[in-house]
Amino acid sequence: MLTAVLEKKDTLELREAPEPEVGNEEALLKVMSTAICGSDVRILHHGNPRVEYPAVMGHEGAGIIVKAGRGVTRVKEGDRVALGADVPCGGCRWCRNGLGNNCAVNYAIGYQIPGTFTQYMRLPRMVLEEGPVTPIPASMGFDEAALAEPLACGVNGFELAGVSLGKTVAILGMGPIGCMGIDLARAMGAAKVIAVQRSPLRMEIARSYGADHYLFTGQSDIVAEIRNLTEGEGPDVVITSNGSVETHEQAIDMVAHRGVVNLFGGLAKDTRPLSVPSNTIHYKECFVTGSHGSTPRHHELAVGLIARGQVRVKPLITHVFPLAKIHEAFAAMESRQGMKIVVRPHE
């Protein structure tokens, strides 16, 4: 089979390798579709403490179970499934309490567990017992199913931010999470969604999602503009789906009294610290939350949202490549000329 091996920093090599053997408590997944995540690009160029070389990256995937060991009960041969990233260890305090994305060990597919940039992938026992392995309906394509992983992270963030009936939600950054977030906010009951974006290219895709207002950052005072759109009060919820510390500060500045800010997007390590007057938070009685990854429960919710058409993911797929062209796929991702780049290992 063909597999993409990360040999060391900046060196991703295509190799022929034997199909993985699977034991009694393991299964073999034929990877039909896998999307590149921003974190894959960071791992490629900067490494990650949880990734040891050689490694197989990729955690946004979907495929068909082609082999299941005798001891496996969760899946059977022929099942179509979507995979998430974070795999709860099952034993720590967080995992035992259903908060596996906060796991002390923090296992993830495409990190410690060989991932989806390959034709066939072994699902070890831990993944089958504790991990995000969600069956998908016959009507759902594999490309869509692969995108349940990033959506699951969005569901986690939006839940933590308390998006609910009647709320006004501002989403800062129209990358994949921001766009899906427009649909997600509606599905969770939001009355008004305000979408904010810097680059025109992504804004074009974001417009197909039908937010109530679209604003470009950069040209104007975004905080004042958003206050104007919310009777001077600010949004009930602000989600920062971008990598800029300035927008994190603006989010806290613009949120309504008793509102919630979710600092969704991670920032580069060398970013300066967040600088906000604590009185802003003090007088507004607002809440500032973060979110990281997702649990298998979020992944199941995400698959359901896509299956019912409540969150659309197809408009996000701007590029599709076979696995043999994974270098072009990464180049497309890094050019920032696309949105979601999908790799289909069997084309």
Closer CB to Zn ion, 100 or 235, in the complex: 100
CB 217 within 8 A of CB 226: no
Burial label for 97, CB within 10 Å (0-12, 13-18, 19+), is exposed
Instruction: Give min distance, CB of 77 to Zn ion, in A.
Output: 28
- HEC profile for the chain? CEEEEEEECCEEEEEECCCCCCCCCCEEEEEEEEECCHHHHHHHHHCCCCCCCCECCCCEEEEEEEEECCCCCCCCCCCEEEECCEECCCCCHHHHCCCHHHCCCCEEECCCECCCCECEEEECHHHHHHCCEEECCCCCCHHHHHCHHHHHHHHHHHHHCCCCCCCEEEEECCCHHHHHHHHHHHHCCCCEEEEEECCHHHHHHHHCCCCCEEEECCCCCHHHHHHHCCCCCCCCEEEECCCCHHHHHHHHHHCCCCCEEEECCCCCCCCCCCCCCHHHHHHHCCEEEECCCCCHHHHHHHHHHHHCCCCCCHHHEEEEEEHHHHHHHHHHHHHCCCCEEEEECCC
Closer CB to Zn ion, 103 or 263, in the complex: 103
Near Zn ion by CB under 5 A, which window of 10-18, 37-45, 160-168, 265-273?
37-45
Closer CB to Zn ion, 96 or 327, in the complex: 96
Closer CB to Zn ion, 1 or 89, in the complex: 89
| 37 binds Zn ion, rule: CB under 5 A | yes
User: Cα(27)–Cα(24) distance, rounded to whole angstroms?
Assistant: 8
Closer CB to Zn ion, 119 or 295, in the complex: 295
Size of the residue set binding Zn ion (CB under 5 A): 5
Q: Report the residue from 44, 62, 95, 121 that binds Zn ion according to the rule CB under 5 A.
A: 95
| 127 binds Zn ion, rule: CB under 5 A | no
Closer CB to Zn ion, 95 or 136, in the complex: 95
Near Zn ion by CB under 5 A, which window of 98-106, 174-182, 189-197, 209-217?
98-106
Near Zn ion by CB under 5 A, which window of 36-44, 131-139, 218-226, 289-297?
36-44
Near Zn ion by CB under 5 A, which window of 84-92, 224-232, 236-244, 257-265?
84-92
Q: Which two tokens stand for residue 13?
A: 């090599």
| 126 binds Zn ion, rule: CB under 5 A | no
Q: Report the residue from 6, 22, 103, 193 that binds Zn ion according to the rule CB under 5 A.
A: 103
Instruction: Give min distance, CB of 67 to Zn ion, in A.
Output: 26
Q: Report the residue from 1, 14, 64, 89 that binds Zn ion according to the rule CB under 5 A.
A: 89
Closer CB to Zn ion, 37 or 170, in the complex: 37
Near Zn ion by CB under 5 A, which window of 15-23, 90-98, 216-224, 259-267?
90-98
Instruction: Give min distance, CB of 89 to Zn ion, in A.
Output: 3
Instruction: Give min distance, CB of 110 to Zn ion, in A.
Output: 8
Closer CB to Zn ion, 92 or 307, in the complex: 92
Residue ranges that bind Zn ion, judged by CB under 5 A:
37, 89, 92, 95, 103
